Structure 1
């Protein structure tokens, strides 16, 4: 849930907007029981694997991936994710969890690509820093990439 508040104004002009709180109530896919995973697989059987409907169903769950070391500059996150966070199993053997992990990795990589290739302006705003930290620490975020694009224009 997002908390949006309009800018307050006083005699001297606009007052800074309070930080946006994002509350994520989704459960981590790694902590689902075997029965819950089987139920999810049964629900997903109606869709082709890796299609948008399949991935949309998986958005109900989150995945916290591996952290990127703090000594890697944020402009290099795209390459680091590309080189280090691939699933070694062939796609034919992937489980529901593997598809969710891959979708989270892909979303994280696309956000890192926007930062890398489309530039940013120094100094970074607090919102930009929060997005960069979420990419670094592996937090799965279901945010429109268009919003991230707008954030780093």
Structure 2
């Protein structure tokens, strides 16, 4: 093989290797930032699997919210109509956070409770993320809940 072809082949191999490495790094970075949405019943059935970090969606159960005196620790339960999952969050909750309201919490399971690092509350009556709306719609059908149209 003459020197010109050898150099071209080496250059092509280096470019392909660099592109492969860049693609692998981007894929790893994106995968670490992906957080799947699960309902409490899916989590308790083990469908969340070994997910280190995921989103928990549902409604804040009535009568479950507690906050320690002079503390930012919030304890509440999220329900989907079939199951309840205790949630612990340390921080300032959104202004619209309240019982009987839709919530999405991002965090991890520790034992039988969900430790949230971020809590989002539904911000008006007409908007709900598609994933939550689909899962809550299935729960409404299952439990024969009347919904306003």
Q: TM-score range by the shorter chain?
A: under 0.3
Q: Which has the higher helix share?
A: 1
TM-score, scaled relative to structure 2: 0.25
TM-score, scaled relative to structure 1: 0.24
